[in-house]
A = this chain, B = another copy of it.
Amino acid sequence: MVTRRLRDIGEHGWIARLLRTVPSGPRVLVGPGDDAAAVRAPRGAVLLTTDTLVQGTHFQLGWETDARLGQRALRINLSDVAAMGGRPLAALVALEAPANLPVAVLDGVMRGMIAEARRHGVDVVGGNLAAAPRLAITVTLVGEAIGPPVTRAGARAGDDVWVTGTLGGAGAAVRALLAGHSARRPPVPVRLGAARLLAPLAHAMIDVSDGLVQDLGHVCDASGVAAEVEVDRMPVAPACRRALGGDAAAFAATAGEDYELLLVVPPRHERRLQRLVPRLGCALTRIGRIVPVAPRSPTVRLGDDGGRPVRFGRSGFDHFRPR
């Protein structure tokens, strides 16, 4: 069987074929294929976020199906809109690909992305395709704010720190894959519904993409506070526990790509939070608290249940610092 590659069909040929598969909802006034798309303006504020997956940096072909990769590229952006307490509306996708990339790969990526978009009421309204040495997928997601956006600033000393789902599962899988073992990277969770329920109670919210310590650090920096996390309370993913054993919690605290919600909530809302749990579709765990900034002390501190500090090697993922 002959593999058809991008150079066989060409940029415009591929785009023309793709456009026939892109559905358009009632919000779309001008869909993909024109100079710009036009969508009805939302009532609330417009939320805007963008995130990229680069081959060799965020994935290797074969780590997951191409459709799962497309789904992932959308979901990491859905996660950002969720973390603001918003609703996603429309997506643009800027693709880079080498001329020898099999057409089937790009088809699979877009099939997965478009199916996932439909599932969440998101219209894929435009994009771009350019030649580049590696596959890269940049999604820009446009959403609508429902109520005031929940930012990273707003955490206050005395607030509790909560996290949805489990941590360390994605990191453990990537660690295994990079070591050449076979592993299944868990799909990025979609916490849109949970986020919308939780947002009205939260002083601050962020998605955990670069590691709990680092992302909680972003919240602390933006809020002018510090935080203490009790390692033994952390909801470590079972696969991470199996792979890392006694180091699992410290690993999970700094591993990236979990895309769970980290939220900071005043203690008076605890009962309201607990009542929401059955509707969240995921676990919700209190893992620590916000404290005042202390001189000569790290912004985010990990401790065991006896209050003794737990050391960790690095705070989280940085693109230009080695793992």
Query: What is the interface of chain A, defined by CB distance below 8 A to chain B?
Result: 6-7, 9-12, 14, 29-30, 33-52, 54, 56-58, 79-81, 83-84, 86, 90, 92-94, 96, 99, 125-134, 136, 138, 140-145, 149, 151-152, 205-207, 214, 222, 318-321
B residues in contact with A46, CB < 8 Å: 38-42, 46, 90, 142
* A/B interface sample: 18 pairs, CB < 8 A: A29-B149, A30-B84, A35-B80, A36-B48, A37-B47, A38-B47, A39-B46, A41-B41, A49-B92, A50-B126, A50-B127, A51-B128, A54-B130, A54-B131, A56-B132, A57-B130, A132-B134, A132-B136
When A38-B145, A46-B38 are in contact, do A320 and B7 touch as well, CB less than 8 Å? yes
B residues in contact with A152, CB < 8 Å: 33-35
B residues in contact with A93, CB < 8 Å: 50
When A40-B46, A94-B94, A94-B138 are in contact, do A35 and B133 touch as well, CB less than 8 Å? no
Q: Is the CB of B49 within 8 A of A37?
A: yes
> Which of B40, B49, B136, B318 sits near A45, CB closer than 8 Å?
B40
Oligomeric state, in copies: 2
Q: How far does the alpha carbon of A149 sit from the alpha carbon of B35 in the complex, in Å? A: 10
> Which of B42, B50, B320 sits near A94, CB closer than 8 Å?
B50
Q: How far does the alpha carbon of A192 sit from the alpha carbon of B86 in the complex, in Å? A: 31
Q: Is the CB of A318 within 8 A of B10?
A: yes
Q: Is the CB of A130 within 8 A of B52?
A: yes
With both beta carbons as reference points, the residue of chain B lying nearest to A321 in the complex is identified as B10
